[in-house]
Amino acid sequence: MNSLRTRFYRDKLHGKIFGICAGIADYTGVDVLWIRLGAIALTMMGGGILIPLYFVAGILAAKKPDHLYVDRSEQQFWQRVRQSPARSARDVRASLRDVDRRLAEVEAHYVTNNPRLADEIERLR
What are the φ and ψ backbone dihedral angles of 56, each rounded to 5 degrees?
A: -65, -45
Considering the domain boundaries, does residue 72 fall inside one?
A: no
114 is in which domain, residue-wise?
A: 84-125
Q: What is the pTM of this model?
A: 0.55
Question: Are both 8 and 56 inside the same structural domain?
Answer: yes
pLDDT digits (tens), the chain, 125 positions: 456 666 777 777 677 788 888 888 878 878 888 988 988 888 888 777 888 888 888 888 777 777 777 777 777 777 777 777 777 778 888 889 989 888 878 767 776 667 777 677 678 77
Residue 78 domain-assigned (yes or no):
no
48 lies in the same domain as 1:
yes
Residues 49, 89 within the same domain: no
Number of separate domains in the chain: 2
Residue 28 lies in a domain: yes
Query: Which one-letter amino acid corresponds to residue 72?
Result: R
Check residue 1 and give its pLDDT. Answer: 46
Q: Within a domain: residue 79?
A: no
Distance CA 77, CA 83 (A): 10
Residues 55 and 3 occupy one common structural domain: yes
User: Residue 77 falls within a domain, yes or no?
Assistant: no
| One domain for residues 60 and 35 | yes
Same-domain check for residues 56 and 88: no
Q: Which pLDDT value is given to residue 20?
A: 86
| DSSP letter (8 states) at residue 112 | S
